Structure 1
Amino acid sequence: MPDFLDLPTDTERPGDRLLLGIRHFDEPFLLTVSLSQGLGSSELWLDRGRAGKARLAEFRRAGDRVLLVVRNKHFLTSGDAAAVRAGRESFALSVVWSGPVLLEEHGAVVVDATGLVVADHDQVAEHLHEHGQGDYTLDERTSLPLVADSRTGPESVRLSALVTFRGPGRGAAVRAVAADPRALTVVQQLNLIRLPASPMPVRRFHPAAGGYGIGYADHAHVGVRDTQVKLQPRFRVGPGAAPIVFQVDPAVPEPFRSAVVEGGNWWREAFTRIGLPDAYRVETGGADFDPYDPEVNGVVWVHRAGRGWSLGQGLTDPRTGEILHARVRLGSQRVEQVRALGEALLAPYGRPDEAERLAAVEELVLARLRQLAAHEIGHALGFMHNFASTRHPRPSVMDYPHARIGVTEDGGLDLSAPYERGLGPWDHVLVAHAYGRFTDGDEEPELAALRREAAEAGLIHVADADASGPGAAHADAVPWVTGGDAPTALATMLRVRDIALHGFSRGVLPPDRQTGELEERATLLHLLHRHEVAAAARLVGGVRYGYGLAGESGAAEEPGIGSGVGTVESGERGAGPDARPGGETIEPGTRPVRADAQHEALTQLADLLRAERLALPDAVLSTLTPPAIRYTRTEQYLDTDAGQVFDPFEAVRAAVTLVTEQLLEPARLTRVAWQHAVDPDRPGVTDVVDALLAATWGRVDKVPPDLPGGAAVQHTADWTLLNHLLTVLDDDALRASVRDPLRAALHHLAAELRVADDERRRAAADLIGRHLTDPGSVRLDPLPRIPPGAPN
């Protein structure tokens, strides 16, 4: 079979330009761009292995010139010739390159494609600008095609170029990684991939099935049905299809490579269950492994400066959703992040049982890599996150897990089972719904039965925007939590945190590391409960709802799973004060969290603002030293206003803000106000503020005298809360239903503080009064910076 495109040898200017022989005109193909030489910054995401968005393109001949035309793949029109023409002519094309015809030989039109490959196809310059790194432009003098690295084959072409961007070099992110931040050089690969000659049958996307929904608008459907076509991305499987094979970068060192292969192969069980035992596997790439080959599904090992995310992506045929190629990027820094957590918890060094503790830390890292590999490959297989799976009988690998930490009978910490090993029942639903085969030819009833069975087993599905970020409201979906009901999980994590902090020592660091890093490890433990705080806060003003279609009934029917699809495992669900029982089906609309569960969570969170919860023990404060010469604090450290040394006041402010940033988030307060208006038994804005004030300015018991710096800790917590309340009040988007009770609560607080026999309290009353009268006359402190806690 001839190659898709030719790469003729340039005898006149070898290496100086790239010639391209084009055989196919007016034939759509996918145009993608990736990086094989990245910048290495977690902040910028311009990594080795980065794959940009795909575009639908084609070459056109216009006299003695060749055009590369890009079409918007989100507008595809079906039907007869007239309908297709109307669709094509209704939306703008983009001519992204043109070049003169040099000659015609062997049935191919030869052009100089140097200007095509030496271009900013990935919009790197714009990306750098948007990330605050300054204005960069492509430097043609130091950019050139890499002819020897370019490849062509029957189904795809890879055109490589060395591309340099010139700029000011003043951005912190580029200065941290670039040899010369004024000249940023990457290797860009332009991939041209043919679409399958025989399109795969489509499977419609369903929002409750856990797959990615890709699609396009088909205006031939106007007046007939919805013009928005949504498809389930999936590989081609079954008779005649090649197996889905992921190759793991041999650059991954052992034993981590074996963990990645093992975790990735967990999905084999799900494919076997639907009758496709040989359809999928993960293996280590050989000596000739090419992570950038568009015909290889690669798991690429990526190094970055700083805490960063891993990523799984699939390149899909926009017509059908068929995944043609997949790439996973695993960040190597995850090894150090997880190891640091394990060492901080177990403080293994210098202990009599050091070897046993270090083995537990190593297994923690390997267990996390197994889960991470399964998770990211799951994305590449076409699956979305499920951040509600910690309420399932067994969590999904498509969740974000936090290590489960047990407490032994003698009060020690146990990391023997930090993560589940293998797939959860939801993962089997994902594979069955996306890849299952059906014997009767009508798959919709069988898929509906599968979804009903999943709902009856309590396998709720909640994805990204509904689970994280300021607008998230679903009570069952918070990333990075350990599972179970939120109040119990928070109480457990607080106990773990207390044990780890009181056992803090130099033993949390390897003996060859500088002691300034003790501060970073202490920060990990001090903020260990951050995700469980978010989960408990989600109950306050929280709601529950599910994904579905308007025509679907909420009543579950007896499921009948079709041939080869398999069954959903069921079991006991997480129990707790507001747990949803197994077998509950998804009804339309949103349902608020019960009033008693909201009040319980609010009380528990407010208690975290008491000095007893905030003060660091002497085991920590007496151990910390500032970073040594030639070392510096990173974003993983708490900020300090104490010069070179650790600032205990900032530690208090950060821990208080963990709670207040959740409970005082304006969207949450809006939900609280409405729920209270409908049902006065549920907490209102006044209840939220009063609970926080009762634990701080209004606490009637005294701070224990043996608490290190106890009075100063409580004083700091009081003022941090007040500053945050006034900051929220300044939000212009705050509704009157939230602003009015918030102002009333602050008026009441000021009245109480004015008569207090304490100058600091009277000063607070004066601050409140001035802010309520003239907000512009008061300078509020910026909210504390909380070191990043994800990915874990």
Structure 2
Amino acid sequence: MTDPIPTDPQHPAVAQHPTGGVPRWRLPPGETNTELLLAIAEFDTPFLLTASLSHGLGSSALTLDRGKAGPDLLATFRRAGDRVLLLVHNKHHRAAGDTAATRAGTEGFAGSVLWSGPIVREDGPAAVVDVTTLALTDLHGIADHLRERDQGDYTVDPATSLAHPTDASGGPHGIRLPALLTLRGRATGAAVRSLAPLPDTLTLVQRMELLPLPADPLPPRPYHPASGGYGVGHRDHGGPVPGAEVRFQPRFRLTEPVVFLVDPAVPEPIHSAVLEGGNWWQEAFDAAGLPGAFRVETAPEDLDLSDPAHHTVWWVHRDGRGWSHGQTLSDPRTGEILHGRVRLGSQRVAQLTALAEALLAPYGQPDEAARRAAVQDLVLRRIRHLAAHEIGHALGFMHNFASHHHPRPSVMDYPHPHLTVTPDGELDTTHAYSQGLGPWDHFLVAHAYGQTPGEELRRAAAAQGLLYLADEDASGPDAAHADAVPWTVPVADPFTALDQALEVRRTALARFSRSVLPPDRQTGELEDRALLLHLYHRHQLTAVARLVAGVRYGYAQAGDPGAAGATPVAAADQWRALRRTADLLHPSVLTLPPTVLHTLTPPAIRYRRDPDALRGQTGRTFDPLTAAAAATALVSTELLTPARLNRLAWQHATDPALPAPADVAGTLLGTLVPDPETDDGVARLVRTTATAVVQRQLHALLADERTHTVVREALRPHLDASPAHPDPDPTPLPWIPPGAPL
């Protein structure tokens, strides 16, 4: 791919930074073992300023992990008499052009003086500055992070915080200023109180990093919204249309191989799976005409994973269910990725193992060895995929939540285990997770790193039917695209995928027993395993429900060929989806089988339920009606949202063949009408419970200011105004235990 390269020497993508014949920064000897000195040879030269955590908090909910990189800032040192200022510049608003244009851009937007310190002495061409107080700055934003999550109001305590001069280091890749930060405050959040030995006093280790920008900037590659890459850039106030957005495709410079080094703390066989999955990307680089450009290896035992000279994969221990992450640090002038860092949460292995054991019930069976091998195989398949996925983010690639429609799914999708039931009633896990790259992953590498023109690649991808849809169009209550759903199986027809998931669920629940738990685990954990199966169909349900008021569209630029706009899903498919989703409110789906309920026992003494567990109302015992309410809420929270019903009202007005908002409420409530001929006592209880959940969701819609007035009026006739329920039920909506990440 050949892209235009700016030639104006004042353009931020071309400007060279002089070295002055000496290193930009260096660490001179300190006078004391607590004094951190920095010799600055260049002033007013931009660099990246960031901070990572080498010792974290250990909470999945708070994500202040070991290895987490903080915000990256564009900064300069400025000399002011006998002091030095550290200025942070606005990297999102700039101006290209001549000196006057760039000055106007700089002066038009405020910067920030982050720190100031005295010059200790002159050392040849360099000024030596005491940066001890800079190192003790909460640059990572730990205190703000905790405050925003209602965990407490903390500040750095200088009396118990300490810079680490002996651990500071410098080299061609920059300077690191490590410090032990102690934050004091009043702990108000459960996450902090459950983890810290003294919740009012939190001590973490921050490594502040000063990273030079390349003296020879990588020619920027323009970003295209259909590229699958992250678009990084700024608003250019110096062009013919001031304020126009300029975005670049993030990518590594390939003058040397890009090597990711895996934390040696990752145990086997997980370690080998991470190496194998990460190295799947080699195939795409080879196919793009870049053989040997990428590889994943094991880091040496003595490697400092925090060193920005290396791209790294960290093994992170945390409390509770959490995500893994792939991060990049890039040159704001060009989008060049300077550093890639991945954090793999170790608790993912436990989550996957629990799901696999719940499905396969291996323990105490005649074929226990084979079943346990299948459990491990499922886990390792997912870990390979996870490693490729997170490294893909660090290569500059976004999610693609529509790849289940591709001939082979992308590793940048969120995969659900694809199990099927064999003719003899066994669960087949052979194809639980796809192994290797899909055609979209090859496209990503070719578009970001190869030399084939991007327009040609995008045309070829479209001809292959390679849909691309990312986060905002796939996740959350505002997601509208019919084909963008995370955690669905690689089956293009969502109805087939849902039927398969329900068959797997029925099969696994039918043989549920203590065999789903290792023999040395307390039986209270059986509740968690049962719940995994009870809600197993949740993501395939979402894929079907997304068709109701669903639309289809694509990412493009105005000059691209093809039609723009959003097209509603056909009426027949919307009605089918509505009825199929409502079918999931039948008591046979909402209720766990008696054989499962008779197996469950409360947690043993000295054990407790997980915070994410079902929140029952029967005291110590498992609550079947709360489980039914949670399964009902899977349906009601998908369909009864303001955005979906607002869309549906307009769609129905333009095409009366499509369902109306009132049809959604009527279909759900109609499914829950008691059947006096077939309902037993349990079914009646479950229908009453499920009806109350749907009614509470309808009342919530009426109280939500985001619901259009016409939708509120259409739903009012379906609200329960019987003497038993004269007012909106004040009970909150049911808690749905989280189902992701898988």
Fold shared, TM-score > 0.5 on shorter chain? yes
Cα distance in structure 2, aligned partners of 1:351 and 1:517:
19
1:163 maps to a residue whose letter is: L
Per-residue deviation at 1:3?
4.5
The answer for the alignment partner of 1:785 in structure 2 is 735
Determine the structure 2 residue equivalent to 1:138: 156
Aligned with residue 653 of structure 1, among 594, 608, 629: 629
| Aligned amino acid, residue 594 of structure 2 | D
1:621 aligns with 597
- 1:473 paired with 2:487, answer no
Equivalent residues in 2 for 1:293-692 (5 A)?
Answer: 293-438=307-452, 446-484=453-491, 485-554=493-562, 587-692=563-668
In structure 2, what is the equivalent of residue 43 of structure 1? 61
Between the aligned partners of 1:672 and 1:353, the Cα distance in structure 2 is 51
The amino acid across from 1:170 in the alignment is T
Q: Residue 244 of structure 2: which of 222, 227, 230 is its match?
A: 227
Superposition map of 1:723-762 within 5 A: 723-746=696-719
Q: Where in structure 1 do 4 or more consecutive aligned residues deviate above 6 Å?
A: none
Counterpart of 1:8 in structure 2 is: 28
Unaligned 5+ runs, structure 2: 1-20
d(CA) in 1 for partners of 2:647 and 2:244?
33
Paired with 1:613 and 1:719, the residues of 2 have a C-alpha distance of: 17
Cα distance in structure 2, aligned partners of 1:767 and 1:494: 35
Q: Is the 8 A contact 2:153 2:187 kept in 1?
A: no
Deviation, 1:378, is 0.4
The alpha carbon displacement at 1:153 in A equals 0.2
Contact preservation (8 Å) 1:656, 1:720:
yes
Summarize deviations over 1:623-671 as a string: whole Å, max 9, x none.
0001111111113321111111101110010000000001101110111
SS of the equivalent of 2:165 reads strand
- For residues 164 and 595 of structure 2, the distance between their equivalents in structure 1, rounded to whole angstroms, comes to 57
**CA–CA distance in 2 between the matches of 1:611 and 1:295?**
58
Aligned CA RMSD, in angstroms, stands at 1.4
- 1:100-179 to 2 correspondences below 5 Å: 100-179=118-197
Are the equivalent residues in 1 in contact too, given 2:360–2:371 (CA < 8 A)?
yes
Q: Distance in 1 between matches of 2:678 and 2:516?
A: 30
For the residues of structure 1 that align with 2:670 and 2:449, how far apart are their CA atoms? 55
Report if the CA contact (8 A) 2:696-2:729 is conserved. Answer: no
Deviation at 1:406, TM superposition (A): 1.3
CA distance in 1, matches of 2:44, 2:427: 65
Letter in 1 for 2:252: F
The corresponding residue for 2:295 is 281
Contact 1:270 1:432 in 2 (8 A): yes
Give 1:6's aligned amino acid.
R
How far off is 1:294 after superposition?
Answer: 0.8
Counterpart of 1:66 (choices 74, 77, 84) is 84
Give, in angstroms, the shift of residue 167 of structure 1. Answer: 1.3
Post-superposition offset of 1:242 = 1.2
Residue equivalent to 2:267: 253
- Conserved in 1, the CA contact under 8 Å of 2:150 and 2:188? no
**Number of paired residues?**
721
The answer to whether residue 192 in structure 2 is matched with residue 190 in structure 1 is no
Rounded to whole Å, the distance in 2 between the matches of 1:68 and 1:719 is 59
Following TM superposition, by how much is the alpha carbon of 1:614 offset from its aligned partner in structure 2, in angstroms?
Answer: 1.1
CA displacement at 1:739 relative to structure 2: 0.8
The 8 Å contact of residues 173 and 308 in structure 2, kept in 1 or not, is answered as: no
Contact 1:635/1:787 (<8 A) preserved = no
| Per-residue deviation, 1:405 | 0.8
1:779 Cα deviation after fit: 4.2
One-letter code aligned to 1:645: T
Question: Post-superposition shift, 1:701?
Answer: 5.7
1:714 to 687, 692, 697: 687
Q: Equivalent residue for 1:236?
A: 253
Partner in structure 2 of residue 755 of structure 1: none
Query: Is the 8 Å Cα contact of residues 4 and 155 (structure 1) preserved in structure 2?
Result: no
Q: How far is 1:78 from its partner?
A: 1.5
Write the distance in 1 (CA, Å) between the matches of 2:486 and 2:693: 26
What corresponds to 1:766 in structure 2? 723
Task: List per-residue Cα deviations over 1:391-439 (Å, max 9, x = no partner).
Answer: 111100000001111111111111112111110000011001000125x
Contact persistence 2:23–2:41 (CA under 8 A): no
The equivalent of 1:576 in structure 2 is none
- CA distance in 2 between counterparts of 1:193 and 1:437 reads 29
Q: Structure 1 residue aligned with 2:304, among 258, 267, 290? A: 290
Equivalent-residue separation in structure 2 for 1:314 and 1:720 (angstroms): 43
How far has the Cα of 1:205 moved from its partner? Answer: 0.5
Distance 1:3 1:158 in 2: 15
Q: Deviations over 1:215-238 (max 9, x none)?
A: 011111143x8621010000012x
Per the alignment, in what secondary structure is the counterpart of residue 709 of structure 1?
helix
C-alpha distance in structure 1 between counterparts of 2:27 and 2:165, whole Å: 9
Please give the alpha-carbon distance, in whole angstroms, between the structure 2 residues aligned to 1:3 and 1:157: 11
Distance 1:592 1:702 in 2: 39
Corresponding position: 1:86 with 2:62 = no
Distance 2:25 2:605 in 1: 57
| Partner SS, residue 584 of structure 2 | helix
Query: Is this contact kept in 2: 1:347–1:508, CA < 8 A?
Result: yes
SS in 2 for 1:67: strand
Give the letter for the 1:715 counterpart: T
Separation in structure 2 between the aligned mates of residue 459 and residue 160 of structure 1, nearest angstrom: 46
Residue in 2 aligned with 1:571?
none
Aligned equivalents of 2:66, 2:99: Cα separation in 1: 43
Shift of 1:23: 1.1
Distance, in Å, in 1 between the alignment partners of 2:376 and 2:23 is: 47
TM (normalized to structure 2)? 0.95
Give the letter aligned to residue 244 of structure 2.
T
Find the aligned partners of 2:317 and 2:629 in 1 and give their Cα distance: 33
- Cα distance change on mapping 1:700 and 1:645 into 2, 3 Å: closer
Determine helix, strand or coil for the equivalent of 1:765.
coil
CA distance in 2, matches of 1:702, 1:201: 74
Counterpart CA distance in 2 for 1:300 and 1:77 is 38
**Which amino acid letter does the alignment assign opposite residue 305 of structure 1?**
D
Q: 1:735, 1:217 → 2: CA distance?
A: 35
SS of match in other structure, 2:666: helix
> What is aligned with 2:14?
none
**Distance in 2 between the 1:293 and 1:147 partners?**
16
Displacement of 1:6 = 1.6
SS of 1:185 mapped into structure 2: strand
- State the secondary structure of the residue aligned to 2:233: strand
Relative distance call for 1:702 and 1:50 in structure 2 (3 A) is farther
Maintained 8 Å contact 2:603/2:609: yes
Distance 1:701 1:478, change over 3 A: farther
Cα distance in structure 1, aligned partners of 2:209 and 2:575: 56
The amino acid across from 2:573 in the alignment is A
